[in-house]
Amino acid sequence: MGIVTSYARALAVREGRAQPIATVRHLHLSARPMVFIPLKLAGEAAAPLGAMVGTDPADPRLLVVPQPRNRDLRFAFMAELAQIMLPYIEGFATATETVTGRNERERYLDAPQILVPGGRAIEFVRLLGRSTRFRRTDGPYPVDPSVPVLGQWLTFLYERTEFAGSSALVPVTEALALHWATGQSPLEDANLATLLAWISPPPGLTGQEAAAAAENPLDWPPAGPDTDPGFDAQVLQHAIRAYDASGSPALVRQALRTQLEPTWRLMWQAVDQLRGLPEAASVAERWAFDRDQYTREVARLADGGPPRGRRDQAGPAAIRLWDMEAAQQTYDAQRAYDDPLVMTEHRATGKAFTGEAVHVDADRRILLPGGKKPVPRPLVTVRTGDPVRLTPGKKVFSVHRRKQSAEIVEIDGDIVVVQLNDQLAKGAGVPTAGDAVCFTELDLGGRIRPGFPTGEETPWTHGGPPAAYVPTDEDAVEAWS
């Protein structure tokens, strides 16, 4: 969010349809994504009610739990889900490429991508993973062997979403909202139906009108995982009673199909909408990282890696936080570097400026403090229309030469003087007068993570070494209410 997005929202209201806030697509879109629309039973933490899942728009698979309070039926559902998801997920573990450079490694050429309607579905995936990954296939409450495996994968996918720029598990509403500003509030953008209504209103309707129509839960049921209370009371309750009495899930299936099919269509409409945008320059790099993580997880599970613990220990928590922040920084910078429209947000707030290089002193050399001989430090004088809010000495980067760092020397009205500090091997990387240039303080990051103590090295300040995590019986037997 920022003033440009806000302006675009205002514009959307007047134009009667959503306005672009990106010129390129900032997420990876698989050639064969899997769409997953889970529903849960109201009032329960993670009681699956049903789901529509699949990779072919024309062939959705409908899974239902005809009596969600029955834990055996829930696990049967999870097993059935595993039969569909695991082949898809594990199916990418085939051809690899060799990544050279430091820590040379193999990496799968492609990886699974699962699309869910929105943030609530992501949270539900987390809970499904949490409630199944510790299950035992023997002992008190045995489950199908595929269930804990699915639990591990769902956990993996969820945890990827905590890192900015990952495309392994994507909430579609957020993906759309990243590229279009609607004439409604961000809160309302969480509704897939209204969001799409604004982005591509049916002919003859304004986004406003289309969105209003899309708010009717009868035509456009909530995208889940929460169901419409009206539906629960008027339809579902009855259907479940019917199952209890007759043992036939037909009515529940029929009921849930009516709730899931509209969303299924919307999900694929959203996919087409996103496909319409060309992929941003840095997406491939970020997706490669997703593939790296996928490759690792495949190997970890192959070695019988244990399910992830319930909560992080001190060390892992610190490492994860560091990585999450690094990912966020890189992601924010890359999106701006890749997309002039995203950059406008930063230009408007003075964190970046574009303009014309009106004068370039390419041969300038200066003697650094403590230095022996003068080093090249070209000066670029830029005329810009942007309200620059960077101060002299501020480190900036050139959008056109991402690796090159520079610093603001002085600012005088619409004239900014920038000194280039590196990437100057024999005069390379210096713009010439008349070039269009763009400098910004946004840093692509990429620093090396400091060393954090391993579990047994945990220092006294953080409670000393924690007891090693062992999945307890409790994890396995904790009965689903």
Partner 1 sequence: MGQLVGCVTVELDDLEERITELRGEIRLAKAGGDDAKVRRLRAELRKAERAWDDALEPDFEPDDVPLLPIREQVHQALTLLGVPSATKMIVAVNEAFFAGRVTTTQLTSLRRDEEKSFRSSPYARPYYLCPALTAELLSPARGLLAISTWPMDVRIIGPLSPRTGFLTSAIRVAEHITRLTGAGGDASTEAYRLLTRMARNIPGATEGFGRADPARVISAADAELVVHLESDRRHRREAAERATARLNEVTRLFGAGLKTASRSAS
Partner 2 sequence: MTVPFSAESATESAAAAADRATAAILADFTGGGHRGVIVDSPPGAGKSTLVVTTTLELALAGERLMIVAQTNEQVDDLVDKIATRAPAITVGRLHKDGFQVPERVLRHPGVTASKKIDDVASCAVVLATADKWAYVSGRTWRWAIIDEAYQMRSDKLLAIAALFEQALFVGDPGQLDPFSVVDTERWAGLAWDPMQSAVAVTARLNDLPVHRLPVSWRLPASAAPLISEAFYPFTPFRSGTTGADRALEFTAAGFPVPWDHTLNEAASTGWALHELPSRHTVRTDADAVQACAGLATRLLQRGPIAHDEHGSHHVDATRIAIGAAHNDQVAAIRAAGVPAGITVDTANRLQGREYDVTIVLHPLSGRRDATAFHLESGRLCVLASRHRHACVVVARAGIPELLDAHPSTGRVRLNVPVKFPDGWEANHAVLAHLAGHRVPT
Partner 3 sequence: MSTPNHRLDALRGDAAPVDHNARTIAALAGNPGCDRRAVLDAAGIHKQNTAVHLGHPAPFGQSPFALARARSFEELVKADGCAHLLRLLRDTLGLSIPEVAYTDIADVGGNAAHQLRHTHTRAELRRAAEDDERSCTLFDHPLLKLPVAGHEVYLEPAVIAFQIGGRFHIVEIKSFAIIDETADSAQVAAASRLSALYVYALKALFEAEGIDPDRVSHEVVLVCPKDFANHPTATLLDVRQQLASLRRQLSRLTGIDRILDRLPPDLSFTLDQSPAELARAIRTVEARYAPECLSSCEMAYFCRADARACGSLDALGRTTRDDLGGLESVDAVLDLVGGDLLASPEHAEILGQLRHVGAIYGEHTEAKAVAWAS
Residues that bind partner 3 (CB under 8 A): 1-11, 13-14, 19-20, 23, 41-46, 127, 130-131, 183-188, 208, 217, 227-230, 232-233, 236-237, 281, 310-311, 337-341, 344, 347-348, 385-387, 399-400, 402, 438, 478-481
Q: Which is nearer to partner 1, 361 or 473 (CB)?
A: 473
Closest approach of Cβ 353 to partner 1, in Å? Answer: 52
Instruction: Restricting to residues 115-144, name those near partner 1 by CB under 8 A.
Output: 140
Site string for partner 1, 461-480 (x = CB under 8 A): ------------xx--x---
CB of 261 to partner 1, least distance (A): 15
**Cβ-based nearer residue to partner 3, 90 or 209:** 209
**Which C-beta is closer to partner 1: that of 229 or that of 463?**
229
Q: Considering the complex, state which of residue 228 and residue 332 has its C-beta at the smaller distance from partner 1.
A: 228
Residue 370 — left, alpha, or beta (φ > 0 → left; ψ -120 to 50 → alpha)? left
Name which of partner 3, partner 2, partner 1, none residue 238 binds, using a CB cut-off of 5 to 8 Å depending on partner kind.
partner 1
Rg, the chain, Cα only? 26
User: Which x/- pattern, by CB under 8 A, does the window 234-253 give for partner 1?
Assistant: xx--x---x--xx-x--x--
**Residue 277 CB, nearest distance to partner 2 (Å)?**
26
What is the per-residue binding string for partner 1 in 157-196, x denoting contact by CB under 8 A? ----------------------------------------
Nearer to partner 3, 86 or 348 (CB): 348
Total residues contacting partner 1 (rule CB under 8 A)?
18
Q: Which does 245 bind (CB under 5 to 8 A by kind): partner 3, partner 1, partner 2, none?
A: partner 1
Least Å distance between CB 393 and partner 2? 9
- Toward partner 1, which CB reaches closer, 96 or 216? 216
| Least distance CB 321 / partner 2 (angstroms) | 5
Structural contact between residues 322 and 397, judged by C-beta atoms closer than 8 angstroms? no
Pick the binder of partner 1 from 31, 58, 95, 218 (CB under 8 A).
Answer: 218
If the CB atoms of residues 57 and 465 are measured against partner 2, the closer one turns out to be: 465
Enumerate binding residues for partner 2 (CB under 8 A): 162, 164, 311-315, 317-318, 320-322, 324-325, 328-329, 349-350, 369, 389-391, 450-453, 457-463
Q: In 10 A of CB 470, how many CB atoms? A: 8
Binding mask 82-111 for partner 1 (x = CB under 8 A): ------------------------------
In whole angstroms, the minimum distance from the beta carbon of 131 to partner 3 comes to 5
Which residues, in sequence order, are CB contacts of 169 under 8 Å at separation 6+?
Answer: 113, 114, 116, 122, 125, 157, 158, 160, 161
Which residues are near partner 1 by CB under 8 A? 140, 216, 218, 230-231, 234-235, 238, 242, 245-246, 248, 251, 254-255, 473-474, 477
